[in-house]
Amino acid sequence: MGCKARCAVDSLAIHKRRNAADRPPGPLPEGLERNRAIERLDCLHGHEPMWRIRSIHSSRFRSNAIPCEIEKRFLAHAGPGRHLLLNQGVYGPTRIFCDQELVPQGTTVEYFPEGVDIAPYLRDTTSLVYIETPASLTMEMLDVRAVCAAARQRHIPVAVDATWGTPVFFDAHALGVHIAIHSATKYINGHSDLMLGLITGSHADLASTRRFCDRSGAHAAPDVCWLALRGLRTLAVRLERHQQTALATAQWLQEQPQVRRVLFPALPSDPGHALWRAQFSGAAGPFTFELAPCSEAAFAAFIDALALFSLGTSWGGYESLVLPAVPYDQRHLATLPDEGRLVRLHVGLEDARDLRADLAQALSGLG
């Protein structure tokens, strides 16, 4: 097995060993509340005045690879006798955190398949509905309006991981979402040189989360917010380039004999295309494609042959990335391949012709 492939196989273990950055608990500096980066995020969302959680990682509560903003959202709604409902395509470490940290503490965690009515899954004890769309790795789309409507009838808040679309392409609050979570480490920053998470929502919706953050001291430093402001200044321009190159690359991959299918809701052929058009104004750079059946050695050789696509998990920067996509064993989705292998790409800011040439030479080794 090649070097890149071996690294990919070990990526889950690396996530499990990774520790969060230590930071002593403490009050948030008053001036940071008025940081210009925060003001610009409010403008992007076009929502009522919001409260933002500015966090790197909590020093008390560590969850390995799960972003701290997601961790805090769950901790604010978890507890004995409470029920959390998530779609089964959520980010893998999010699922691990729920199953391995919250369930042993008495929280009931349940997953629903994308494309179903969630009303039968809701209980009197449901304290939060948490969704991610498109789904991590396999890119299924959720009807966010329908999810929010069902939850609203039971007075249950809905939170969404909105990192893929960013506030530029995805107005989560306009669809009925109470709480939008962003890994600002990715597109909002855009330079792969900081760790930052954001939660947006009304003061009422985020009251419990704010109390938790004030008690745990999970807030970001001013220089981190300054770097995020730098990224916000070019966010819209970068996203347009990511979108154009990703769509061109996905369309090209559809024509290659070594590729079985491309999972990207921006493609008209994708099953989630109609929902994507209804809920998003653009598409980001990450998408997945399935190779035709091949041996493990051939698959490893394909990954290693890529020169412009570096092996990496945390997308959203300027560079293109590749990752063998291995959805977690708990997921049972009709979209998962039975013979082929999934490859997740993040299409960066490089020239589209160069990226296609790199993929072409790597695919040629598969016959």
Give dist(CA 182, CA 196) in Å, integer. Answer: 9
Buried b (16+ CB within 10 A) or exposed e, 137-175: bbbbbbbbebbbebbeeeebbbbbbbbbbbbbbbbbbeb
Give dist(CA 55, CA 70) in Å, integer. Answer: 10
In this predicted model, what pLDDT tens digit does every residue of 205-237 receive, in sequence order? 777 777 777 776 767 778 888 888 899 999 999
- All structural domains of the chain with their residue ranges: 18-230, 235-366
> How far, CA to CA in Å, does 85 sit from each of 77, 128, 209, 272, 336?
11, 6, 18, 21, 22
The CATH number of 235-366 is which of 3.90.1150.10, 1.10.150.50, 2.60.40.10, 3.40.50.150? 3.90.1150.10
Degrees, nearest 5: CA angle 143-346-95? 55
DSSP state of 172: T
pTM: 0.82
* Residue located via tokens 């196989």: 9
Residue 139 backbone phi and psi in degrees, to 5: 65, 20
Instruction: Kindly state the percentage of the chain with pLDDT values over 70.
Output: 75
For residue 339, pLDDT beyond 80? no
- Which range has the worst mean pLDDT, 15-19, 143-147, 203-207? 15-19
Residue 261: count other Cβ atoms within 10 Å of its Cβ.
19
Instruction: Kindly state the percentage of the chain with pLDDT values over 90.
Output: 59
Residue 103: count other Cβ atoms within 10 Å of its Cβ.
14
* 8 — pLDDT class (breaks 50, 70, 90): very low
What length does the chain have?
A: 367
For residue 57, pLDDT beyond 80? no
* Residue located via tokens 């050695």: 297
Here the tokens at position 155 are 């007075």
- Which range has the worst mean pLDDT, 110-124, 172-186, 326-340? 326-340
* Residue located via tokens 């299409």: 347
pLDDT at 281: 97
Q: Is 343 helix (H, G, I), strand (E, B) or coil?
A: strand
Q: What is the CATH number of domain 18-230?
A: 3.40.640.10
* Residue located via tokens 């969704």: 131
pLDDT at 328: 57
